[in-house]
Chain A
């Protein structure tokens, strides 16, 4: 169980490298979005490990919030305004 959590944190560090280093803006946005899904997996595994059901509420909220943020930035890149 612990080795699985450590592997997931390693994957989050890969995404953090790309978010800090990435040459274009969509690299950074994509890296942060993927990192949010990795954190969704981490909180789900912690909910399984400590048997706490409310940690999965955190997972659902994280997935929805990162989705909205990425869609807003994609529309901005496409050159449209947010109420278009």
Chain B
């Protein structure tokens, strides 16, 4: 029973990972790509590691998987937040159909909306 639950977690995590990486190819600018990939890849990697913990229980493999869940859960959101803030300050353009950019307006800079599709 709990093995089946672990495999459900693992298969769901792999699907989240692959679809998040597909967003890395398909989305138009760097901020859209960040919000597509980091959320789904965080959930996917945590799902895979938690599924391994459910299958193995409190053995060496399971405890290490739990520690790795903790690291991945801190790693990607903090890194993508810092990187998106850094690239807004650096001036990498937003997509041309973006409606509002409150961060640059509050800092008093000129608008950086107008990036092309890529």
Contacts and interface: CB of A to CB of B under 8 A. Distances in A.
Interface of A: 4, 7-8, 10-12, 14-15, 17-18, 22-27, 29-31, 33-34, 37-38, 40-41, 44-45, 47-48, 51, 53, 56-57, 59-60, 63-64, 66-67, 70-71, 73-79
A15 B21 contact: yes
Nearest to B71: A63
Query: For chain B, which range describes its interface: under 10, 10 to 19, 20 to 34, or 35 or more residues?
Result: 35 or more
B18 A11 contact: yes
Given A15-B24, A48-B52, A56-B61, A40 B18 contact: no
Nearest to A63: B71
Given A26-B86, A45-B48, A47-B61, A34 B67 contact: no
A33 B59 CA distance: 29
B24 A18 contact: yes
B61 A33 contact: no
A51 B38 CA distance: 29
A47 B65 CA distance: 10
B14 A67 contact: no
Contact of B79 (A41, A71, A78): A71
A71 B75 CA distance: 10
Contacts of A57: 64
A44 B76 contact: no
A11 B66 CA distance: 23
B75 A56 contact: no
B86 A74 contact: yes
B61 A26 contact: no
Contact of A34 (B24, B59, B85): B24
B30 A27 contact: yes
